[in-house]
Amino acid sequence: MGILNVTPDSFSDGGQFSRIDSALRQAEQMIADGATIIDIGGESTRPGAKEVSVKDELARVIPVLKAINARFNIIVSIDTSKAAVMSEGITYGAGIINDVRALQNEGCLTVLAQDQGVGICLMHMQGLPRTMQHNPHYVNLIDDITIFFQERILACTQAGINRSRLILDPGFGFGKSLEQNYSLLANMAKFQCLDLPILAGLSRKSMIGNLLNREINERLAGSLATAIIAAQQGARIIRVHDVKETVDALKVLEATTINR
Ligand code: 9MG
C-alpha cells in the first residue's frame, strides 16, 4: 500500500490542477514501483495534528480519488474517520476505507453497512492524535489490542457488516511508547488468531527515528527492516512511502521463504 498524502503541505504549489496532477504522478510512480493499493488521506494523523473540516477533507480527497480511478486500474483506499467522507469515497469508487478510529465515529458503521463491497481497515489507537503519546499504558499490550479488535469486529458484524470485509491494524505509533511499538512488532503474529488480514504501517515513523536518531528523510533502512519483520510476522498489507525499495525487500523475503 503506497501512501499518497493530499494535505496542503504535501504540495509545493497551490491550485486544484497542480494538486491533482502531482497526485496522479505520484500514483503512477507507486504503481510502476509495485503498489497494488494507493492510500489517500486528507487529514494528518500525526501526534498534535489539527483537525480538518468535512468540507476541506472532501475537497482534498474526492477530486484525487476520481482522477486516479479514471486513469488507473488500482485499489484506492481512503484514510478517513468521517462518515461523510467515507460515503462520498464509496460513491466515487474507493475500494477500502482505512479508519485509524476503527469506525467509532458517529455514522461510520451505518455508512459501511450500506455498501457490502468495500474493504475496511480497523486500526487500534489508544487516545486521540493530539494526546496519544502522553504516557500510553496497557495492562497487557497484545491482549488489550486483541480485545479492542474483538470489540470492533463485533460492533461491525452487529451493524450488518460482513466479517470477510475487515482488515486489522495494530496502529504502530498510535498511543504506544517506543518499547511498546517494538514489542508489538515482535508479537504481531499473535493477531493471526483472529483470522483476518493484518495491515502494518511503520514507514518513516518516530519509532524508527527515535531508535536510530534519524530525521524523517533518513529512515529508509529502518523502514525496510520493519517492513520485513512485519511481513515475517504475517502482515499481508504494508503501508509505505518508499514503494520501490519495500517491494524489492519483500521480493527477497518471498524468494527466501519459497526456497526454504
Ligand atoms: C493514516 N495512517 C497513518 N499511519 C497509519 C497506520 O499505521 N495504519 C493505518 N491503517 N493508517 C495509518
- The distance in angstroms from the start CA to the end CA of the chain is 26
In angstroms, the CA 191 to CA 244 distance is: 27
What is the tens place of the pLDDT at every residue in 176-200? 999 999 999 999 999 999 999 999 9
Q: In what side-by-side order are the strands of the sheet with 37-41? A: 2-5, 37-41, 75-79, 96-99, 119-123, 166-169
Which tens digit of pLDDT belongs to each residue from 44-78?
888 777 889 999 999 999 999 999 999 999 999 99
pLDDT higher than 50, residue 12: no
Tell me, using a 6 A CB cutoff, whether residue 199 lines ligand 1.
yes
- Residue 199 CA, closest ligand 1 atom number: 10
Contact residues for 250 (Cβ-Cβ < 8 A; gap 6+)? 227, 228, 231, 238
Mutate to test the pocket of ligand 1, among 123, 126, 204, 241 (most ligand atoms within 8 A of CB): 123
pTM for the complete prediction? 0.95
Catalytic residues: 205, 239
Report CA-CA distances (Å) from 155 to 13, 74, 77, 158, 232.
Answer: 42, 29, 21, 5, 29
Please give the single-letter amino acid code of residue 48. Answer: G
Does an H or E element contain 84, and which? helix 83-91
How sure is the predictor about 15, in pLDDT bands with cuts at 50, 70 and 90? low
CA of 100 to the centre of ligand 1 (A): 6
Supply the DSSP symbol for 165.
Answer: G
Question: In this model, does residue 11 exceed pLDDT 60?
Answer: no
Give yes or no for residue 149 having a pLDDT over 50: yes
Amino acid type, 136: P
Note the pLDDT of residue 218: 98
- The pLDDT, as a whole number, for residue 10 is 53
